[in-house]
């Protein structure tokens, strides 16, 4: 918001160059405005009308802002530097993306030489391409010259693409232009490695070549014409708000446009006539509409209106009031004119301030902001982008103990058992045995008590155990509960532990029905050695509440948390002690990284939620508390400046602490209560007890008590209102009595005290909030704007100075927020809050001297957004879809402003904004597109929640156990953090919108991936991954909360139902269809909750194309349903493999591919070469054939590796499955025989493929490591257990390696030429992702773009769903080594996808922005690409005569197939 007055169609003076701004003289028909306003500014302190504050950024015309603004991004940096070649001129320097600079030099055409453009980019990338064309005359279409640099390619007959030449960190390109009629070159730059376009403020770069087009040495344009042209440009561009620098650029651009007109033959007289006619028409229209017959020049009216506005206190007038003020100013001058005063005399009187002005200063309480809403500035959303500079989880090893990314074997084992036994835990104990662990779980599945004792101790163990009815006693267990093989003794029992080969742990399970036992004593026996718990028996109480933390502190900054626990007794004395201790620990927390700060947050939040003692027998002055708060918050402020990667968690910490402040503010808490008592004759009772409490130890409870008193007085002394306010904020009678100086009495005031108490307690509330409630909106705004409170008698005064450097109009914006904070219509308030947060953002990223206060203000604005959204839920019940979409964009923007690494959220926001525009334009695809945006937003929220849980919950559990925090408070710690943030508000809105979008987009509640009718018992699991190696004894319907896409389906499973969204062509989806398992995604949370509530019951599932009908059945009906994938060890016939032998060749070309040498994958790609249509590309391929691995292993140089491998295989044969990872590591130790290296080099070079070794020895080493990783993947867990299931002899499985060049693709796709969901052979189904195909077939969250296409109409693809995957993978031009085993594509066994394909170079993860993707936004491009994919699939199916599973990529619109196999 800015200080504005109306204007009457005048040209903005802010666009004038300095030489012309000093005069308002204009030449128009009938109007001569002599004189200058520089004299006015010399006599007055206020700025002239030419200043940006009045006429530039904030001028309103009939209620429309005449703002000047250009989008930020790439900007030209004018620089007067000589080029190295004196014949060259510097055309410009550009900042491309913050890390790259570009310099363009031009040598203009002479009679003896052509024009020449040199472009140099400083950038690490070695894959820059110039996308360019030339401009001739007034033709806007690009001209493509015949002369161009080597390597230039034609792009769609529309542009040329030329690669840059790399030299060190610079990329260089020279373009020679010999056509004399060409006067400009336009271009963009493409970074192929990053798949990004580098533009000039979203537009093409343009370099003028022909000097006579842009300037003329003998022609000058009058400045008044330039001003008018600049005004016209400003109007054409939507009356944007420009910075002073942008205004200058616009002014010069206007001059250039006029010079171009002159160069084309237009005379100055013609220009002048054309432009002045426009301005005359504008002015005449203005006079007709606003001021018929007026004799007062507009410039004088403007000045007088400005004076009136100043005298009124610079209020924020709505448009109608601005026009009224303008007319009032005109009337005042007209009165002077009517008195006989000349215009010159009036001008002099204005300068002296002698014109009579009837205006009074506006009251602060009167609103002159538009009551409807503010006008938000138009900005590039990308300005809100935050990217974390490095991995936040990295921290020094000496600071953090045992930070593990993956759970231990014991944790995985216990998790699987919890899933199996309903997960209901009565107690959990973890003991240490030297460097090993012993876990005891007491569970209550289906009403029975089950005890699990598990350990990762290596030596065989025996459990010596019993039960107890009283602590300390031993009783022998009943004989009917003894596990198999147990030996019953006199007062105990002994049971041998059973080893679990999958998890490498040993365990005992005991089940008991009796309820009278209260505990479980035991010891362990290892040979002749008894193992006890620190000299005593182990003991687990059946009735204990489960404690989440065992004292280990895994996943936390344990040394810091131990220190906090050690200091807690001291911290409980007072807030002063706690805050000082926290300040002393801040450096240690910072050194421990994000987990260290998480520890501080957990501790402070336990304090803020009253889980820790606030005061214990210690008297401390309020100013001492305030000083300690101030010290802590200043340390946090300084870390906020220096550690931007931790700002999000630092904001959370700050929000749990009051602002504090040196001396005066804190002391006023003590002094002011005495003044209140004295002024209002309140010297006894409750107010005196509160006074004693305040003197002893003030706390955040005092803010609530003060509010309760105010509510009580305002309710006409209704005591129930007093208690309601207290109790709703967690303060009970018991808590009031628990203070060291307890509050025993209720308030009891006289009616004559009402007015004074409301006044004084209202003032006192500000003092309390200044110390205790830094994030309170009113307090935070008052602190930033400044305030002053005078002292009375002994009471000190307080003066808070306004924060310097706030954006123009910011105080008025905050006042708008305060004025509307309780409005029922929350939309204008939300817009004001977000505008304030965006305006505040640059200051939060600076080293502002009052940064702490700005942080508190931003936190308060964020909090107010959340409460406003929640207040607006009811109104949204009857809102339009567009309104809900708009609300989601507001909440997403707020969440992005509060998030450190917000790139994904920013692209979600761009997607929602695009969906909103699609809905407004009635695009028939808008709901389908919006659904993909919704899915992506949910993924972002899920990722954020998971991050919070991983970072905060372990610290909450460990510290909570050390400090004795209530278990319920520990259990919900992270959940409550999430609930308190914007993410929770967004989640509610998404849940409201989802069923509506599905209905509009004609989507059902299910996506059926594998339609198989089945029946089975319902089992609910958290992750499919945790049970993938389990075998169910009865047909089982798994309801899994998470499915990534790479899991195996457990034996005995007949259906997998999930809310997760794996791709239809992901590994687990293919597995489900192959194994005849029903597999579906459920979008309706109510249906899912209903199914989860049916756990243990028997159900039938009947899928349709878009739904699943489920019903409960009895056991007798089970046999009537065909249930696939039941475990039956005798029903499966072993699949026989013929072991392949080494052929004598280490490497072969495509012409030599045979079934004895390579697998089907490699043979198929060679078969396609020359047989598919010419527009389908097939990559060049070579291979390392079967037997090469075995040959390399037998080489003398690898004897030690071979011996180690044999020993590990023996362990594996004994079902020690931990040997699998050791085998993979051992394979990587192989060295390459020289003959292999030489043969592979010759084969690749002869086939036209680049040899990695040409780039250096290290590149060959990278390639060799990739080959070994492919071989090693024979022993990955998923593949190994998959072969065991079908009884395939793993020793006979051989691995060839297909070698191909990686195509740095725009998109990757997978085609099934028969629709896998419906089985419709007339329909092709395909999925497309941006970048590499690994995100499609691997465990990457989100959905791909999916479509179907009838084979009878390949030109009409139908999109089923738009993409929601947040991540794309991209890679430089490289080599990929693909697995190709003899165990793939066997009848009865689908081995495809089990083994690894390894690129030589690491992929780069890129957060995807679909709003700029032509595949999404350009209908013609989408149709072209999808039709091309469908045509390729149809051609390949026709070639093979059977349904095919095809993988490929799209590069510059060209379809390239990289492999095909029979569709399973």
Residue 431's CB: how many other CB atoms inside 10 A? 19
Residues 6 or more apart from 340 whose CB is under 8 A from it?
none
Given CA atoms 889, 895, 898, 899 in this order, what sign does their dihedral have?
negative
Please give the Cα distance from 1070 to 1461 (Å, whole number): 13
Tokens of 397: 């090893």
Q: What angle do CA 848, 699, 710 make, to 5 degrees?
A: 100
Q: Are 1344 and 1352 in contact (CB under 8 A)?
A: no
Query: What pLDDT is attached to residue 872?
Result: 83
Active-site annotation holds for 691: no
Tokens of 1336: 């499609």
Choosing from 8, 148, 464, 1067, which is the catalytic residue? Answer: 1067
Round to the nearest angstrom and report the end-to-end CA distance of the chain: 63
Residue with tokens 């033709």: 139
Q: Are 1030 and 1056 in contact (CB under 8 A)?
A: no
Per run of 10 residues, the mean pLDDT along the chain (length 1464 residues) is: 32 33 33 31 30 30 30 31 50 75 84 84 83 80 85 86 86 87 87 77 80 49 77 68 69 78 72 65 39 60 77 65 78 82 79 66 42 79 77 39 52 75 69 84 77 91 90 84 90 92 88 81 91 84 54 83 89 89 93 93 88 78 82 92 92 82 54 78 86 75 90 92 90 84 89 88 78 70 73 52 87 89 86 94 88 91 86 81 90 93 93 91 92 92 89 92 87 84 86 87 86 92 87 92 85 92 82 86 89 91 84 78 44 65 93 90 89 92 94 94 93 87 93 95 94 90 95 87 77 90 91 91 95 84 94 95 94 90 68 80 92 92 96 95 93 92 84
Q: What angle do CA 543, 549, 551 make, to 5 degrees?
A: 115
Query: What pLDDT is attached to residue 351?
Result: 66
Q: What are the DSSP calls for 995-1042, one per residue?
A: HHHHHHTT--SEEEEE---EEEEEEEEEESGGGTT-EEEEEEEEEEEE
Query: What pLDDT is attached to residue 624?
Result: 82
Give the pTM. 0.63
Please give the Cα distance from 546 to 439 (Å, whole number): 13
Residue with tokens 């489960």: 546
**Where would I find the beta strands (DSSP E) of 476-577?**
487-488, 493-496, 498-500, 505-512, 519-526, 529-531, 538-541
- Judged on CB neighbours under 10 Å (0-12, 13-18, 19+), 1133 is exposed
Strands 1454-1462 and 1176-1177 turn out to be parallel
531: β partners: 524
Residue with tokens 């072209």: 1424
**What is the SS3 assignment for 1398?**
strand
**What is the SS3 assignment for 1375?**
strand
Query: What pLDDT is attached to residue 719?
Result: 93
Instruction: Quote the DSSP letter at residue 889.
Output: H
Residue with tokens 């045979």: 1154
Instruction: Quote the DSSP letter at residue 467.
Output: B
Task: Report the C-alpha dihedral over residues 785, 790, 791, 793, rounded to 10 degrees.
Answer: -170
Q: Nearest CA to 1336 among 1007, 1045, 1071?
A: 1045
Taking each helix axis as running N to C, give the angle between helix 881-897 and helix 903-920, from 0 to 180 degrees, rounded to the nearest 10: 160
Query: What pLDDT is attached to residue 1119?
Result: 67
Please give the Cα distance from 269 to 1151 (Å, whole number): 77
Strands 1031-1042 and 1051-1058 turn out to be parallel
Q: What are the DSSP calls for 360-371, one per residue?
A: -PPPTTS--S-S
Query: What pLDDT is attached to residue 359?
Result: 63
Q: Are 1045 and 1142 in contact (CB under 8 A)?
A: no
Chain centre distance of CA 1130: 51
Q: Are 1417 and 1288 in contact (CB under 8 A)?
A: no
Residues 6 or more apart from 674 whose CB is under 8 A from it?
691, 794, 795
Tokens of 572: 């409980």
- Judged on CB neighbours under 10 Å (0-12, 13-18, 19+), 923 is middle
Q: Are 160 and 144 in contact (CB under 8 A)?
A: yes
């Amino acid at each position: 918001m800015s200080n504005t007055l109306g204007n009457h169609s005048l040209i903005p003076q802010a666009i004038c160059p300095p030489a012309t701004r000093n005069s308002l003289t204009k030449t128009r028909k009938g109007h001569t405005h002599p004189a200058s306003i520089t004299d006015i500014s010399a006599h007055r302190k206020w700025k002239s009308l030419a200043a940006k504050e009045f006429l530039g950024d904030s001028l309103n015309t009939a209620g429309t802002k005449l703002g000047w603004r250009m989008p930020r991004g790439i900007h030209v940096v004018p620089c007067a530097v000589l080029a190295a070649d004196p014949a060259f001129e510097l055309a410009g320097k550009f900042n491309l993306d913050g890390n790259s600079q570009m310099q363009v030099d031009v040598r203009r055409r002479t009679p003896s030489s052509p024009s020449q453009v040199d472009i140099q980019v400083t950038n690490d990338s070695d894959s820059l391409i110039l996308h360019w064309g030339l401009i001739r005359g007034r033709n806007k279409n690009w001209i493509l010259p015949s002369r161009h640099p080597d390597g230039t390619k034609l792009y769609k007959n529309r542009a040329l693409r030329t690669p840059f030449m790399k030299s060190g960190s610079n990329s260089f390109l020279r373009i020679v232009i010999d056509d004399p009629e060409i006067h400009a070159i336009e271009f963009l730059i493409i970074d192929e490695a990053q798949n990004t376009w580098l533009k000039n403020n979203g537009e093409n770069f343009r370099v003028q070549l022909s000097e006579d087009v842009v300037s003329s040495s003998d022609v000058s344009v009058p400045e008044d014409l330039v001003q008018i042209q600049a005004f016209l440009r400003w109007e054409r561009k939507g009356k944007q708000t420009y910075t002073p620098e942008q205004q200058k650029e616009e002014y010069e651009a206007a001059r250039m446009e006029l010079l171009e007109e002159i160069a084309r033959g237009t005379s100055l007289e013609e220009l002048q006539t054309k432009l002045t006619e426009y301005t005359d028409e504008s002015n005449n229209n203005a006079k007709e509409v606003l001021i018929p017959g007026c004799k007062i020049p507009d410039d004088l009216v403007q000045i007088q209106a400005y004076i009136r506005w100043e005298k009124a206190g610079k209020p924020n007038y709505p448009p109608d009031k601005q026009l009224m003020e303008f007319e009032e100013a005109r009337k005042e001058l007209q009165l002077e004119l009517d008195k006989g005063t000349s215009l010159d005399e009036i001008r002099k009187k204005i300068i002296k301030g002698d014109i009579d002005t009837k205006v009074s200063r506006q009251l602060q309480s009167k609103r002159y902001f538009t009551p409807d809403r503010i006008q938000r500035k138009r900005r590039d959303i990308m300005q809100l982008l935050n990217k974390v500079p490095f991995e936040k989880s990295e921290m020094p090893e000496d600071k953090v103990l045992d930070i593990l990314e993956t759970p231990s074997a014991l944790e995985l084992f216990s998790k699987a058992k919890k899933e199996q036994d309903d997960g209901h835990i009565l107690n959990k104990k973890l003991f240490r045995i030297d460097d090993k662990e012993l876990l005891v779980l007491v569970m209550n599945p289906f009403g029975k008590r089950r005890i699990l004792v598990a350990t990762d101790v290596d030596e065989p163990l025996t459990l010596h155990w019993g039960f107890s009815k009283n602590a300390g006693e031993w009783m022998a267990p009943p004989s009917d509960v003894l596990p198999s093989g147990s030996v019953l003794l006199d007062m105990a029992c002994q049971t041998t532990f059973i080893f679990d080969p999958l998890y490498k742990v040993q365990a005992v399970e005991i089940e008991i029905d009796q309820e009278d036992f209260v505990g479980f004593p035991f010891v362990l026996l290892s040979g002749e050695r008894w193992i006890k718990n620190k000299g005593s028996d182990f003991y687990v109480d059946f009735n204990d509440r489960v404690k989440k933390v065992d004292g280990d502190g895994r996943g936390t900054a344990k040394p810091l948390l131990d220190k906090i626990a050690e200091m807690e007794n001291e911290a409980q004395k007072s807030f002063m002690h706690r805050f000082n201790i926290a300040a002393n620990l801040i450096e240690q927390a910072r050194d421990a990284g994000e987990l260290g700060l998480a520890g501080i947050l957990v501790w402070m939040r336990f304090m803020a939620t009253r889980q820790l003692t606030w005061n214990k027998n210690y008297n401390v002055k309020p100013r001492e508390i305030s000083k300690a708060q101030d010290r802590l918050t200043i340390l946090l402020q300084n870390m906020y400046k220096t550690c931007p990667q931790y700002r999000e968690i630092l904001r959370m910490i700050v929000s749990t602490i009051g602002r504090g402040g040196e001396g005066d503010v804190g002391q006023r808490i003590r002094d002011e209560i005495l003044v209140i008592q004295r002024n209002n004759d309140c010297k006894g009772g409750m107010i005196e007890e509160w006074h004693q409490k305040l003197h002893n130890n003030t706390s955040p409870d005092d803010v609530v008590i003060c509010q309760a008193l105010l509510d009580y007085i305002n309710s006409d002394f209704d005591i129930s209102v007093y208690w309601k306010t207290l109790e709703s904020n967690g303060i009970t009678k018991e808590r009031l009595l628990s203070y060291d100086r307890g509050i025993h009495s209720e308030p009891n005031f006289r009616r004559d005290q009402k007015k004074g108490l409301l006044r004084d307690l209202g003032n006192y509330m500000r003092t309390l909030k200044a110390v205790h409630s830094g994030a309170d909106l009113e307090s935070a705004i008052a602190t930033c704007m400044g305030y002053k409170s005078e002292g009375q008698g002994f009471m000190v005064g307080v003066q808070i100075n306004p924060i310097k450097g706030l954006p123009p109009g910011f105080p008025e914006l905050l006042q708008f927020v305060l004025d509307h904070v309780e409005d029922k219509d929350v939309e204008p308030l939300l817009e004001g809050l977000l505008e304030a947060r965006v305006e505040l953002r640059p200051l939060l990223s600076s080293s502002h001297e009052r940064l702490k206060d700005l942080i508190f203000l931003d936190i308060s604005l964020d909090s107010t957004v959340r409460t406003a959204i929640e207040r607006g839920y009811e109104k949204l019940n009857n809102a339009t879809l567009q309104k809900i979409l708009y609300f989601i964009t507001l909440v997403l923007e707020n969440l992005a402003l509060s998030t450190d690494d917000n790139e994904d959220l920013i692209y979600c926001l761009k997607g929602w904004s695009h969906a909103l525009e699609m809905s407004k334009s009635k695009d028939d695809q808008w709901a389908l597109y919006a659904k993909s945006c919704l899915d992506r937003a949910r993924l972002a929220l899920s990722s954020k929640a998971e991050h919070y849980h991983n970072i905060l919950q372990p610290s909450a559990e460990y510290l909570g156990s050390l400090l004795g925090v209530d278990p319920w408070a520990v259990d919900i710690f992270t959940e409550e953090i999430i609930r308190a943030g914007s993410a929770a508000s967004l989640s509610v809105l998404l849940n409201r919108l989802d069923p509506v979008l599905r209905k509009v987009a004609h989507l059902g509640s299910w996506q059926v991936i594998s339609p198989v009718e089945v029946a089975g018992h319902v089992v609910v699991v958290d992750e499919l991954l945790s049970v993938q190696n389990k075998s169910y004894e009865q047909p089982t319907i798994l309801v899994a909360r998470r499915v990534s896409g790479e899991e195996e389906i457990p034996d005995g499973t007949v259906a997998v139902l999930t809310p997760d969204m794996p791709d239809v062509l992901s590994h687990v989806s293919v597995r489900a269809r192959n194994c005849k398992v029903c597999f579906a995604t459920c979008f309706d949370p109510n249906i899912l909750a209903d199914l989860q509530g049916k756990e243990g019951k028997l159900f039938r599932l009947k899928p349709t194309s878009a739904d699943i009908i489920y019903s409960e059945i009895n056991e007798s009906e089970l046999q009537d349903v065909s249930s696939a994938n039941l475990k039956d060890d005798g029903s499966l016939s072993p699949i026989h493999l013929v072991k392949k032998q080494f052929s004598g060749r280490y490497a072969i070309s495509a012409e030599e591919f045979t079934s004895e040498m390579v697998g089907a994958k490699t043979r198929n790609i060679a078969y396609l070469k020359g047989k598919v249509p010419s527009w389908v590309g097939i990559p060049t391929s070579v291979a390392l054939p079967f037997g090469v691995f075995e040959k390399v292993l037998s080489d003398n140089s690898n004897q030690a590796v071979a011996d180690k491998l044999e020993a590990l295989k023996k362990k594996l044969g004994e079902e020690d499955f931990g040997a699998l990872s050791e085998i993979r590591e051992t394979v990587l130790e192989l060295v390459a025989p020289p003959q292999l290296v030489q043969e592979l080099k010759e084969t690749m070079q002869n086939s036209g493929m680049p040899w990695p070794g040409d780039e250096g020895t290290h590149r060959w080493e990278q390639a060799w490591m990739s080959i070994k990783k492919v071989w090693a993947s024979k022993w990955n867990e998923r593949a190994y257990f998959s072969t065991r299931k079908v009884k395939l002899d793993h020793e006979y499985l051989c691995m060839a390696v297909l070698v191909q060049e990686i195509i740095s693709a725009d998109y990757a796709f997978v085609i099934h030429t028969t629709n896998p969901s419906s089985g419709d052979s007339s329909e092709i189904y395909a999925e497309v992702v941006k970048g590499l195909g690994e995100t499609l077939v691997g465990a990457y969250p989100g959905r791909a773009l999916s479509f179907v296409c009838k084979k009878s109409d390949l030109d009409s693809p139908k999109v089923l769903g738009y993409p929601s995957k947040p991540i794309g993978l991209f890679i430089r031009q490289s080599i990929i080594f693909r697995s190709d085993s003899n165990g793939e594509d066997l009848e009865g066994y689908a081995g495809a996808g089990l083994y690894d394909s390894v690129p030589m170079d690491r992929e780069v993860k890129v957060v995807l922005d679909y709003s700029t993707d032509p595949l999404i936004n350009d209908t013609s491009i989408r149709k072209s690409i999808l039709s091309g994919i469908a045509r390729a699939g149809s051609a390949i199916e026709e070639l093979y005569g059977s349904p095919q599973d095809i993988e490929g990529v799209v590069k510059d619109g060209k379809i390239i197939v990289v492999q095909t196999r029979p569709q399973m």
